[in-house]
Amino acid sequence: MLSAIIKGQAQQLLPRSDQSSSTTSQSPQAPKQQPPSQQQTVQQPTAQRQTGSSQRLTRDEAVRLALAQASAFQTAHYAELIAAEDVKLARIAFLPKVTVPSTITYNSPTLGPVAPGTPGAERFSFISANAVAEYQALVGAIGEIDVAGRLRAALRRSVALLEAARAGTEIARRTLIQSVDDAYYGLALATAKRIAAEQTLSATEEFARITQLMLNAGEVAEVDLTRARLQVASRRDELEQARANELVAGGTLRVLVGYPFDSPIDVVDLANEPPDRAAIDRFVVSGISNRPEFAQLDAERRAAEQEAKAARAERLPQVSYSINAGFDAESLKPDPLHDHTGVLATFSLTIPVFDWGASKSREQQAKIRSQSIESERTLAVRNFNQQFYAARAQAVAAANRYQVLSASVVDAERNLQASIARYRSGEAPILEVTDAQTTLAAQRAALYQAIFEYQQARSRLLQVTTQ
């Protein structure tokens, strides 16, 4: 726009002797100066994005791609799957373990003297074996009867940890979405600043060219041309910085969404995302209570309580059983097998007496962990409230700044027009024009910054209120 303004007034800035030649050589399609009321403000910039064949990436698509990439969210999901397997293991602990132990034992005959008439089957050396050859094949089931509640406490602890893992997955998902929003709108801001820097540089280069023509005509001093060139150099430096910032911001978003670094990426135009002051009023602080962090802390507290119960149950009597069915014979012939086939059941009662305070210490650790989680929850409530009010204040301030800056950009454009007109008539020095150019560039940058900060604060409100 600034370039169009200067081009439209170029003929009035030139000496009379140059006006006719410039007019005849000017293309019929050259832009003309428009009245201020008809000029387009920076809210709808006329500069087009140089995106080539790239397709614009929407914010929702960026979130979808990021959730499919390797990230902390994926790691949290794997942790949830591991916790689900722990629940299965805790339930399996209630079931008997079935085994099929089969043994063949050879017991050498005794090397010492034996009484005359002793059968050969009784002439074995080791008293722990029942014969010279012993065959054993059993189907057994062993397990624990949860009379003390240790297994039940372990199961409830595993279920609570699974709930905590699920909440952790949701926390990681929302954190990743927050990172995508920051990177997405960060790239949009960098792109908008780069486009504004290109516009400003184009306008200052055009003004420097006009100043050169006026110097050749003897209407201005050489110092004016020097100042115009310095202004061009400053704007070119700003453009290079803006391009570098855009590359860095694009790299950050590419990492999150999985785009190759050599592929183009195009995001939303910030000018098309103006702040909505009314949308901020829909966020209420009561939404904080639905945050997954609270569900995670509650689940971890329940897990700690069940861990304390399991540790306390270790000091209570434990009952276990072992049931075996099969044969244990000195021969595989039918008669010995039939005589030595049966069922053997064993029940054991274990009464803990003294473990040097190990179970008591584990119980105390679990209780302290539960108290620590309660303290952490109280602190989280205060932190989330602070985050809500801070994000809301930032969003409201950014929306208000947007309204002010929108009018300021229009005033800055008019100020530049007036400065050019005063410089043309010799009423103002060139410094007034360069200051007006600087002011317009600063107001544009501030306007885009306000839009970015609004979108960033709105994203944080969505995060803190679980919307």
Neighbours of 327 (CB within 10 A): 16
320 is written with which tokens? 């276990």
- Give the residues across from 325 on adjacent strands: 139, 343
Token output for 16: 């009379």
Cα separation of 211 and 49, whole Å?
Answer: 30
Q: pLDDT at residue 1 above 70?
A: no
Residue 25 has pLDDT above 80, yes or no: no
Q: What is the pLDDT of residues 93-111, one digit of tens each?
A: 899 999 888 888 887 777 7
* pLDDT value of residue 211: 86
* Average pLDDT in the chain: 83
User: CATH number of the domain at 95-145+317-351, please?
Assistant: 2.20.200
- The tens digit of pLDDT for each residue in 120-143 reads 666 677 777 777 788 888 898 999
Indicate where the chain has its CATH 1.20.1600.10 domain(s): 2-15+59-94+146-316+352-464
Residue limits of CATH 2.20.200 in the chain: 95-145+317-351
Residues 6+ apart with CB under 8 A from 409: 41, 42, 43, 440, 443, 444, 447
Give 136-186 as a 3 state SS string. EEEEEEEEEECCCCHHHHHHHHHHHHHHHHHHHHHHHHHHHHHHHHHHHHH
pTM of structure: 0.74
Instruction: Tell me what pLDDT residue 121 has.
Output: 61
Domain at 2-15+59-94+146-316+352-464: CATH architecture: Up-down Bundle (1.20)
**pLDDT tens digits for range 232-289:** 999 999 999 999 999 999 999 999 998 888 888 889 888 888 898 888 888 888 888 8
Q: What confidence tier does 48 reach under pLDDT thresholds 50, 70, 90?
A: very low
Quick check: 158 pLDDT over 80?
Answer: yes
How far is 432 from 428, CA to CA, in rounded Å? 6
Task: Tell me the per-residue pLDDT of 391-426, one tens digit each, with 9 for 90 and over.
Answer: 999 999 999 999 999 999 999 999 988 888 888 777
